[in-house]
Amino acid sequence: ARNRIAEGEGSVLMCCGRSQPEHAVLIVDAASGEVLGDDNVGEIWAAGPSIAHGYWRNLEASAKTFVERDGRTWLRTGDLGFLRDGELFVTGRLKDMLIVRGHNLYPQDIERTVESEVPSARKGRVAAFAVTVDGEEGIGIAAEIGRGVQKSVPAQELIDSIRQAVA
Protein backbone atom coordinates (compact mmCIF):
# COMPACT_ATOMS: atom_id res chain seq x y z
CA ALA A 1 0.00 0.00 0.00
CA ARG A 2 1.08 3.56 -0.63
CA ASN A 3 2.84 5.32 2.28
CA ARG A 4 2.67 2.20 4.44
CA ILE A 5 5.59 1.07 6.58
CA ALA A 6 6.75 -2.52 6.09
CA GLU A 7 9.55 -4.58 7.60
CA GLY A 8 12.59 -4.98 5.37
CA GLU A 9 15.98 -3.55 4.62
CA GLY A 10 16.26 0.21 4.73
CA SER A 11 16.97 3.08 7.05
CA VAL A 12 16.76 2.49 10.77
CA LEU A 13 14.21 4.77 12.42
CA MET A 14 14.25 5.67 16.09
CA CYS A 15 11.06 6.13 18.05
CA CYS A 16 10.31 9.55 19.58
CA GLY A 17 8.26 7.95 22.35
CA ARG A 18 4.61 8.14 23.37
CA SER A 19 2.52 11.25 23.94
CA GLN A 20 2.40 12.54 27.50
CA PRO A 21 -0.68 12.43 29.77
CA GLU A 22 -3.40 14.86 28.62
CA HIS A 23 -1.68 15.08 25.22
CA ALA A 24 -2.45 13.19 22.03
CA VAL A 25 -0.91 12.55 18.64
CA LEU A 26 -2.74 11.66 15.43
CA ILE A 27 -1.41 10.66 12.03
CA VAL A 28 -3.64 12.22 9.39
CA ASP A 29 -3.81 12.08 5.60
CA ALA A 30 -3.01 15.74 4.84
CA ALA A 31 -5.21 15.84 1.73
CA SER A 32 -8.37 14.13 3.02
CA GLY A 33 -8.14 14.73 6.78
CA GLU A 34 -8.64 11.00 7.36
CA VAL A 35 -7.04 9.62 10.53
CA LEU A 36 -4.62 6.84 9.58
CA GLY A 37 -3.91 3.62 11.45
CA ASP A 38 -0.62 2.20 12.67
CA ASP A 39 2.24 1.95 10.17
CA ASN A 40 0.74 4.48 7.74
CA VAL A 41 2.74 7.65 7.00
CA GLY A 42 0.86 10.92 7.25
CA GLU A 43 1.01 14.37 8.81
CA ILE A 44 1.61 14.44 12.56
CA TRP A 45 -1.05 16.33 14.52
CA ALA A 46 -0.61 17.13 18.22
CA ALA A 47 -3.04 18.30 20.90
CA GLY A 48 -2.78 18.98 24.60
CA PRO A 49 -2.47 21.66 27.25
CA SER A 50 1.00 22.72 26.06
CA ILE A 51 -0.17 23.27 22.46
CA ALA A 52 -1.18 26.81 21.47
CA HIS A 53 -4.61 27.49 19.98
CA GLY A 54 -3.29 29.81 17.28
CA TYR A 55 -0.74 32.41 16.28
CA TRP A 56 -0.82 35.83 17.92
CA ARG A 57 -2.64 38.28 15.64
CA ASN A 58 -2.35 36.02 12.59
CA LEU A 59 -5.76 34.52 11.90
CA GLU A 60 -4.85 33.35 8.39
CA ALA A 61 -1.84 31.30 9.51
CA SER A 62 -3.79 30.04 12.53
CA ALA A 63 -6.61 28.76 10.32
CA LYS A 64 -4.12 26.73 8.25
CA THR A 65 -2.14 25.32 11.15
CA PHE A 66 -4.61 24.85 14.01
CA VAL A 67 -7.73 22.77 13.42
CA GLU A 68 -10.67 21.78 15.61
CA ARG A 69 -11.51 18.09 15.74
CA ASP A 70 -13.39 16.07 18.35
CA GLY A 71 -13.60 19.08 20.67
CA ARG A 72 -9.83 19.67 20.73
CA THR A 73 -7.47 22.07 18.99
CA TRP A 74 -4.90 20.17 16.95
CA LEU A 75 -1.58 21.55 15.71
CA ARG A 76 -0.78 20.45 12.16
CA THR A 77 2.98 20.10 12.62
CA GLY A 78 3.94 19.79 8.96
CA ASP A 79 6.02 16.77 9.95
CA LEU A 80 5.48 13.33 8.45
CA GLY A 81 5.49 10.22 10.56
CA PHE A 82 3.68 7.12 11.67
CA LEU A 83 2.54 5.45 14.87
CA ARG A 84 3.36 1.89 15.86
CA ASP A 85 1.92 0.56 19.10
CA GLY A 86 1.40 4.13 20.34
CA GLU A 87 5.00 5.17 19.66
CA LEU A 88 5.74 8.02 17.23
CA PHE A 89 8.28 7.78 14.42
CA VAL A 90 9.14 10.94 12.42
CA THR A 91 10.02 10.31 8.76
CA GLY A 92 10.30 13.77 7.17
CA ARG A 93 8.55 17.04 6.37
CA LEU A 94 5.30 17.41 4.45
CA LYS A 95 6.69 20.38 2.49
CA ASP A 96 9.63 18.24 1.35
CA MET A 97 7.35 15.64 -0.25
CA LEU A 98 7.22 15.67 -4.04
CA ILE A 99 3.92 14.83 -5.71
CA VAL A 100 4.54 13.56 -9.23
CA ARG A 101 1.63 12.30 -11.34
CA GLY A 102 -0.34 11.54 -8.19
CA HIS A 103 2.47 9.67 -6.40
CA ASN A 104 3.95 10.92 -3.13
CA LEU A 105 7.73 10.73 -3.32
CA TYR A 106 10.22 11.65 -0.64
CA PRO A 107 13.35 13.42 -1.92
CA GLN A 108 15.46 11.78 0.79
CA ASP A 109 14.56 8.33 -0.59
CA ILE A 110 15.44 9.35 -4.14
CA GLU A 111 18.72 10.94 -3.00
CA ARG A 112 19.66 7.85 -0.98
CA THR A 113 18.89 5.62 -3.99
CA VAL A 114 21.17 7.64 -6.27
CA GLU A 115 23.94 7.66 -3.65
CA SER A 116 23.77 3.88 -3.18
CA GLU A 117 23.10 2.77 -6.78
CA VAL A 118 25.30 5.18 -8.76
CA PRO A 119 28.92 4.67 -7.67
CA SER A 120 30.12 7.89 -9.30
CA ALA A 121 27.65 10.05 -7.29
CA ARG A 122 29.34 11.54 -4.23
CA LYS A 123 27.70 10.66 -0.92
CA GLY A 124 25.84 13.55 0.68
CA ARG A 125 26.04 15.54 -2.55
CA VAL A 126 22.74 14.60 -4.22
CA ALA A 127 19.55 16.68 -4.29
CA ALA A 128 16.13 15.69 -5.64
CA PHE A 129 13.50 18.35 -6.37
CA ALA A 130 10.29 18.96 -8.32
CA VAL A 131 10.47 20.29 -11.88
CA THR A 132 7.86 21.12 -14.50
CA VAL A 133 8.69 20.61 -18.17
CA ASP A 134 6.09 21.49 -20.81
CA GLY A 135 3.39 21.48 -18.13
CA GLU A 136 4.35 17.96 -16.98
CA GLU A 137 5.51 17.44 -13.39
CA GLY A 138 8.69 15.49 -12.84
CA ILE A 139 11.78 15.10 -10.71
CA GLY A 140 15.10 16.87 -11.13
CA ILE A 141 18.26 15.42 -9.66
CA ALA A 142 21.51 17.25 -9.08
CA ALA A 143 24.43 14.99 -8.22
CA GLU A 144 28.04 15.94 -7.66
CA ILE A 145 30.37 13.66 -9.61
CA GLY A 146 34.09 13.35 -8.87
CA ARG A 147 36.45 15.10 -11.33
CA GLY A 148 38.16 11.87 -12.34
CA VAL A 149 34.83 10.34 -13.32
CA GLN A 150 33.81 13.49 -15.21
CA LYS A 151 36.91 13.16 -17.38
CA SER A 152 36.55 9.44 -18.07
CA VAL A 153 32.79 8.80 -18.32
CA PRO A 154 30.58 10.51 -20.92
CA ALA A 155 27.91 12.78 -19.42
CA GLN A 156 25.06 10.88 -21.09
CA GLU A 157 26.26 7.64 -19.50
CA LEU A 158 26.13 9.30 -16.06
CA ILE A 159 22.64 10.65 -16.76
CA ASP A 160 21.45 7.23 -17.92
CA SER A 161 22.83 5.53 -14.78
CA ILE A 162 20.96 7.98 -12.54
CA ARG A 163 17.74 7.55 -14.54
CA GLN A 164 18.03 3.77 -14.30
CA ALA A 165 18.61 3.92 -10.54
CA VAL A 166 15.44 5.91 -9.85
CA ALA A 167 13.17 4.37 -12.50
> 28-78: per-residue pLDDT in tens?
998 899 999 999 999 999 999 999 999 999 999 999 999 999 999 999 999
CATH 2.30.38.10 residue ranges of the chain are 24-94
Q: Which whole number is the average pLDDT over 154-158?
A: 91
CATH assignment, 24-94: 2.30.38.10
Q: What is the mean pLDDT of residues 12-41?
A: 93
What percent of the chain is predicted at pLDDT more than 70?
Answer: 95
Q: CATH assignment of 97-166?
A: 3.30.300.30
Tell me the per-residue pLDDT of 112-146, one tens digit each, with 9 for 90 and over.
999 999 999 999 999 999 898 898 889 999 999 98
Q: Which helix (H) or strand (E) holds 141?
A: strand 136-145
What per-residue confidence (pLDDT) applies to 16?
94
C-alpha 70 chain-centroid distance? 27
Distance CA 114, CA 89 (A): 24
